[in-house]
Structure 1
Amino acid sequence: MGLGDKIKNAADELAGKAKEVVGDATDNQRLEAEGKLQQGKAQVKQAGEDVKDAAGDLVEDAKNKF
């Protein structure tokens, strides 16, 4: 995974957290839910990228053994 993807996922998660906090503070349930959803999406993307990284590491390890 590239550094750009990590930064984008972190930014999406942070933006979602900000929406959640503002929604909670202003009693705006829609904004709060939107923020939670955005955070969840960012976390899922990050998990997918982590799986890709792990698979790539396994492939490199296998190549190095042969």
Structure 2
Amino acid sequence: MSAGEKAKAKTEQVVGKAVRKAAHAMHNETTAAKGAALETRGKAREAKEKTKGGFGH
């Protein structure tokens, strides 16, 4: 897993989680869903990079 992709995945997870929690606190469900989607995309990117790294060796 490259360092850039790993950082991007973690950033998406952290930002998504923060947006989701802030939106829930303000009762804005649309923005909360967008934050959850961003968090999920970060987790998927991380999983993809982990599997991709295992086949290269």
TM tier relative to shorter chain: over 0.9
Give the TM-score, by structure 2 length: 0.92
- What is the deviation of 1:53? 1.0
Number of residue-to-residue matches in the alignment: 57
SS of corresponding position for 1:27: coil
Is 1:2 the counterpart of 2:8? The answer is no
User: RCO greater where, 1 or 2, for CA within 8 Å and sep 6 or more?
Assistant: 2
Q: What stretches of structure 1 move > 2 A for 4+ residues in a row?
A: none
Cross-structure match for 2:31: 31
Identity %: 26
RMSD of equivalent CA atoms: 0.8
Alignment gaps of 5+ in structure 1: 60-66
Which consecutive residues of structure 2, in runs of 5 or more, have no partner in the other structure? none
Shift of 1:41: 0.7
TM-score by length of 1: 0.81
Distance (whole Å) between structure 1 residues aligned to residue 3 and residue 15 of structure 2: 18
